[in-house]
Amino acid sequence: MKKSIYALVVLASIQVSGQTAIFDEQETYTRQDSLRGSITPERAWWDLKYYDLFVSVDPENKFISGRNTITYEVLESARVMQIDLQEPMQITKVTQGKDELEIKHEGNAHFIQLPTQTKGSEGKVTVHFEGNPREAIRAPWDGGYSWKKDENGNHFIATSNQGIGASLWWPCKDHMYDEPDNGMTLSIQAPEKLTAVGNGRLEKIKKNKDGTRTFIWKVVNPINNYGVNVNIGDYVNISSKYEGEKGKLDVDFWVLSYNKDKAKEHFQDAFRTLEALEHWFGPYPFYEDSYKLVEVPYLGMEHQSSVTYGNQYLKGYLGQDLSGTGWGLKWDYIIIHETGHEWFANNITYKDVADMWIHEGFTTYSESLFIEYFYGKEAASSYTQGLRLGIQNREPIIGDYDVNSEGSRDMYPKGNNLLHTVRQVVNDDAKWREILRGLNKKFYHQTVTTSEVESYISEQSGIDLSNIFDQYLRDARVPVFEYAIMDNRLIYRWTNCIESFDMPVRVKIGGEETLLKPNPSFQLMEIADQNLSISDDYYIYVNEVKINKVPE
């Protein structure tokens, strides 16, 4: 998630031939950014195995407290472990067995002093914490706890923290490269009469003497940090099954009690999504942990096996069509988009948030694939083209590495258009689908970099696509196909692009399809017909120029 209504407020800025790219001004980063965003030596030596997280939630005081027992494997002998927890939350103590360990604090990073760790061994530390976590003002974009009330005056609480990080409210290794290999236990102590929903499956409910209840949720697959979530409300459960590619998938909807009937009807889009996206991407990646839609007091987020929903039971994006074509109003944006993230975000996860387009580009593309599955290829193509309205082309899609920096918002609509353009180059729908499914198999439950994803697509398609990815991900400009027709000669080239840009493009000359291989130098071709057209499926600009003389 993490998208604001860009399409409604932003007009496409068209850059034409001759302009240079407009790059972001040099950002300045602090040591805290590096501690948060890089694989520091105090992170690198240990591999996450398991989180056992307990959190008690007190909405009257907007206060939480708990402990996280972290199981890790020692990859290299070391003595100092970095754990992240953001102010104003506090670590009260860290223990290993019976010993309390010394902690050196540096802002949001905390360095635990351990006895020498032996390579190959497994260890556990328990981090105790408490405090008033940052409150979300505009969830899910700014991140934090949402302390709301439902229509009956019951507490309605949820967490969201992509980008800012899970360490906003619980102590963890807050870098995306490492996930707990064996999953986690998430125990949530909720106020009387309310239900707490987390990730994975509900294992048991414990009644406490003070009237509160502890809900113990178990996740058996690796899980990304920001995917972990706490939701508390006056929930009811609607339980069913979906017959999918990997067998019976448990599908549970957790909604506010007074929305039960509405949800039963409206959430049918969840089954349509599973059908369409299993077709394109392969089996839902977390059968063992089940699939859930959980109602929350904010728009929604891709929490793993616990997709959160707050789109007000409307079609589109809060009733709006981001593409302006009408196709965006045939389905509930949040159900389709956030569920799409189960494949691209939760199954295939970026190592560094600079590569966030892997989540948002592919997932925005999954919207088009959903449309293609139910309404046909033309409808999907029209939706993809409609999304161009929201592209700004001011900064590259990829952000700065190792400092927890997201790239430009273009990662959504331009990411979709990049993939749609690459599909035109691959020009083989069956192979394209194989590549999308193959990605989810090759990188199953893994964290990845952009270059790994690019290389895979190039290898599988048999086409070197590196210059295309460089152009659309690492440069802000939209390439222009510039051409002139003089008598029976076509003169053409790529301009407004990187030096090595060489994307082949299929054009129609007098109704006949021809494959051109332009680059930034002029090329010449004899033609019999002067009518040239290029499919709008490519995200490029086309510029016919008048010339008096054939260039050298």
Q: Residue 471 — φ and ψ, nearest 5°?
A: -65, -50
> Cβ of residue 360: shortest distance to Zn ion, in angstroms?
5
Closer of 157 and 356 to Zn ion (Cβ): 356
Give me 419's structure tokens.
């993939």
> Cβ of residue 44: shortest distance to Zn ion, in angstroms?
29
* Residue 358 touches Zn ion, criterion: CB under 5 A: no
Give the range of 170-178, 355-363, 443-451, 502-510 binding Zn ion by CB under 5 A. Answer: 355-363
> Cβ of residue 412: shortest distance to Zn ion, in angstroms?
7
Closer of 133 and 140 to Zn ion (Cβ): 140
Contact call for residues 299 and 318 (beta carbons, < 8 A)? yes
> Cβ of residue 302: shortest distance to Zn ion, in angstroms?
6
What's CA 381's distance to the chain center, in Å? 22
Q: Cα 521–526–529 angle (5° rounding)?
A: 120
> Cβ of residue 444: shortest distance to Zn ion, in angstroms?
20
Closer of 229 and 363 to Zn ion (Cβ): 363
DSSP state of 300: E
> Cβ of residue 361: shortest distance to Zn ion, in angstroms?
10
Closer of 56 and 363 to Zn ion (Cβ): 363
Can you list the positions of beta strands (E) in 299-427?
300-301, 307-309, 348-350
* Residue 1 touches Zn ion, criterion: CB under 5 A: yes
Closer of 179 and 360 to Zn ion (Cβ): 360
> Cβ of residue 3: shortest distance to Zn ion, in angstroms?
6
Closer of 360 and 482 to Zn ion (Cβ): 360
Q: Residue 429 — φ and ψ, nearest 5°?
A: -60, -40
Amino acid code (one letter) for 38: S
Give me 427's structure tokens.
């020009």
Closer of 1 and 136 to Zn ion (Cβ): 1
> Cβ of residue 276: shortest distance to Zn ion, in angstroms?
17
Residue matched to tokens 């999954």? 366
Q: What proportions of the chain, in percent to the nearest 5, are helix, strand and coil?
A: 25, 30, 40
As a whole number of angstroms, the distance between CA 103 and CA 293 comes to 39
Number of residues interacting with Zn ion: please give it, by CB under 5 A: 3
* Residue 397 touches Zn ion, criterion: CB under 5 A: no
Burial (CB count <10 Å: 0-12, 13-18, 19+), residue 11: exposed
Q: Rounded to the nearest 10 degrees, how much is the dihedral formed by the CA atoms of 165, 170, 174, 178?
A: -120
Closer of 162 and 393 to Zn ion (Cβ): 162
| Backbone CA torsion sign across 326, 426, 361, 21 | negative
> Cβ of residue 546: shortest distance to Zn ion, in angstroms?
44
Closer of 70 and 322 to Zn ion (Cβ): 322
As a whole number of angstroms, the distance between CA 110 and CA 107 comes to 8
CA dist list (Å): 42 to 105, 320, 347, 533: 13, 46, 26, 57
Burial (CB count <10 Å: 0-12, 13-18, 19+), residue 106: exposed
| Partners of 58 in the β-ladder | 63
Element of type H or E holding 466: helix 466-474
Closer of 189 and 363 to Zn ion (Cβ): 363
> Cβ of residue 304: shortest distance to Zn ion, in angstroms?
13
Q: How many CB atoms lie within 10 A of CB 371?
A: 26
Q: Which residue is nearest to Zn ion (CB)?
A: 1
> Cβ of residue 340: shortest distance to Zn ion, in angstroms?
8
> Cβ of residue 284: shortest distance to Zn ion, in angstroms?
17
Element of type H or E holding 493: strand 489-495
> Cβ of residue 272: shortest distance to Zn ion, in angstroms?
18
Closer of 352 and 360 to Zn ion (Cβ): 360
The footprint of Zn ion on residues 359-388 (CB under 5 A) is 360, 363
Give me 319's structure tokens.
């009733």
As a whole number of angstroms, the distance between CA 295 and CA 233 comes to 9
CA dist list (Å): 478 to 85, 324, 325, 473, 494: 41, 21, 22, 11, 10
> Cβ of residue 134: shortest distance to Zn ion, in angstroms?
21
Per-residue interface string for the shown chain with Zn ion, residues 52-91, x marking contact by CB under 5 A: ----------------------------------------
CA dist list (Å): 344 to 164, 502, 537: 19, 28, 23
CA dist list (Å): 443 to 222, 287, 290, 438, 456: 13, 17, 20, 8, 10
Closer of 159 and 496 to Zn ion (Cβ): 159
Closer of 303 and 315 to Zn ion (Cβ): 303
| Backbone CA torsion sign across 295, 276, 354, 398 | negative
Residue matched to tokens 């407290």? 65
Closer of 252 and 360 to Zn ion (Cβ): 360
Amino acid code (one letter) for 505: V
Residues making contact with Zn ion (CB under 5 A)? 1, 360, 363
